[in-house]
A and B are shown apart, each in its own frame.
Chain A
């Protein structure tokens, strides 16, 4: 049988000013996450990524891109569009954190309460989500991910190389430390 290909996928859409970035801008290691707010594995990775940023402050920054798998997760697309609505108001990461901390409350009613809790206008954001004002941005992230070899969520790229290891904190620390050393 033909030898199977072990693919090393690489990030094809470079990090730009349009991205949502957390951590030092001059950090030597960049982790790009393609995530789905309704995906339980992304939810499990979320506290580990937060802790990674804390333990390796100055060394690593995190970029978040939308990758909603809407046919499996009915609220993933609206959650992503709500996060982008918060993003245009300079509040992306607050919304991002709220979504991952309330993955069982992504329906429109609870989402609206969450937006209000964060001190943003729920009616305006609800209307933007309703008319898909931010759908193009979400789709652009998704398509860039598909082209880069994102094969599920979460998919992480560490300095542009797809991370095929685990998402537990020790795995993430090891991947970042290895990238920082090269």
Chain B
């Protein structure tokens, strides 16, 4: 928590941002999702060489996230052109945001930027009031799956922060 370079801790207000979400320059950011839980999935790069890439998996799991009314945003330093091709290839429909210029600025503000110049593999779950509820950093090469996210959303539901629609 006190480490200035560490991943943002629970209880802290989530830094606001807007990032390009589509090649036509449309931007999206946290403010648009206020009142709903938001899952930020920072990841190193598009095009990881496995079946069941993390972002493709989240697309398949979207009905589960939506049952908590949660929005999922993928964030990497790839450009939106790369994101668009990647999303088309993997059938991803949720926003992949380009933390491209200034490079990694949003990842840095969450403490999720690596010395190698990529976003870390990190998950941040933000409550409907914009406060960090849960976060976890993972090894770069490990696909973290979705169980940690769903557990965090379930705890929110149990504590009454999220009404299941």
Contact residues of A with B, CB < 8 Å?
Answer: 1-7, 9, 36, 39-42, 68-72, 142-143, 146-153
Chain B positions within 8 Å of A41 at CB level: 50-51
A6 to B148, CA, bound (A): 13
Chain B positions within 8 Å of A153 at CB level: 51-52
**Is B7 a contact of A1 with CB atoms below 8 Å?**
yes
**Is A152 a contact of B57 with CB atoms below 8 Å?**
yes
Number of interface residues of B (CB under 8 A): 35
Of residues 47 through 97 on chain B, the ones whose CB sits less than 8 Å from some CB of chain A are 50-54, 56-57, 59-61, 64, 90-93
**Is A36 a contact of B52 with CB atoms below 8 Å?**
yes
Indicate which residue in B51, B137, B145 contacts A1 across the interface (CB closer than 8 Å). B137
**Is B145 a contact of A150 with CB atoms below 8 Å?**
yes
A71 to B53, CA, bound (A): 11
Task: Please name 17 further chain A to chain B contacts, defined as beta carbons within 8 Å, in addition to the given A4-B138, A71-B91, A146-B146, sorted by A numbering.
Answer: A1-B3, A1-B7, A1-B114, A2-B137, A3-B137, A4-B137, A4-B139, A7-B148, A9-B145, A39-B51, A41-B51, A68-B60, A72-B51, A72-B52, A72-B56, A146-B150, A152-B53
On whether A6 and B139 interact (CB within 8 A), knowing A1-B6, A147-B147, A147-B150, the answer reads yes
Chain A positions within 8 Å of B142 at CB level: 4, 6-7, 151
Closest residue on chain A to residue B140 by CB atoms: A4
A153 → chain B closest CB, angstroms: 5
Chain B positions within 8 Å of A1 at CB level: 3, 5-7, 111, 114, 120, 137
On whether A69 and B137 interact (CB within 8 A), knowing A146-B61, A148-B147, A151-B144, the answer reads no
Q: Which secondary structure dominates where chain B touches chain A? A: loop
A41 to B53, CA, bound (A): 13
B32 → chain A closest CB, angstroms: 23
**Is B56 a contact of A71 with CB atoms below 8 Å?**
yes
**Is B145 a contact of A149 with CB atoms below 8 Å?**
yes
Chain B positions within 8 Å of A149 at CB level: 145, 147
A-B pairs, 6 with minimum CB distance: A152-B52, A71-B91, A151-B145, A151-B143, A149-B147, A2-B6
**Is B7 a contact of A146 with CB atoms below 8 Å?**
no
A149 → chain B closest CB, angstroms: 4
**Is A72 a contact of B90 with CB atoms below 8 Å?**
yes
Closest residue on chain B to residue A5 by CB atoms: B136
A57 → chain B closest CB, angstroms: 29
